[in-house]
Amino acid sequence: MIVDFTIFPTDAGESVSAYVAQVFEIIEASGLKYEHHSMGTNIEGDWDEVMAVIKSCRDLMLEQSNRISISLRIDERKGVTNGIERKVASARAKMNRA
């Protein structure tokens, strides 16, 4: 399962990068495969593992903020591992094909 995940406080002003940095630390410490991008993070693992990481991020954010925003998009495909790299590689391999 791949989850495209975004979390940030809505009451922390214009810049939230200090909060996002703390979320990055939780994600990186999880041991799960991940990929940060400018609008969030892709995390790959089984349901319980990924949701535990998201819950940890949520709990931390709620300790520091009265209101947060969380967005999730989930791609779950049976039997697929290493999906973060495979999905991109598959699309790139098909580029410029007639």
75 touches 1 (CB < 8 A): yes
Q: Is the dihedral of CA 88, 70, 59, 14 positive or negative?
A: positive
- Residue ranges of domains in the chain: 2-93
Q: Are 6 and 38 in contact (CB under 8 A)?
A: no
The edge-to-edge listing of strands for the beta sheet with 68-75 is 33-37, 40-44, 2-9, 68-75
Cβ contacts of 82 within 8 Å, gap of 6 or more:
33, 44
Q: Which fold has domain 2-93?
A: Alpha-Beta Plaits (3.30.70)
State pLDDT tens for residues 40-77: 999 999 999 999 999 999 999 999 999 999 999 999 98
For the ranges 29-38, 43-52, 60-69, 87-96, the lowest mean pLDDT is seen at 87-96
SS3 call for 54: helix
Strands 33-37, 2-9: pairing is unpaired
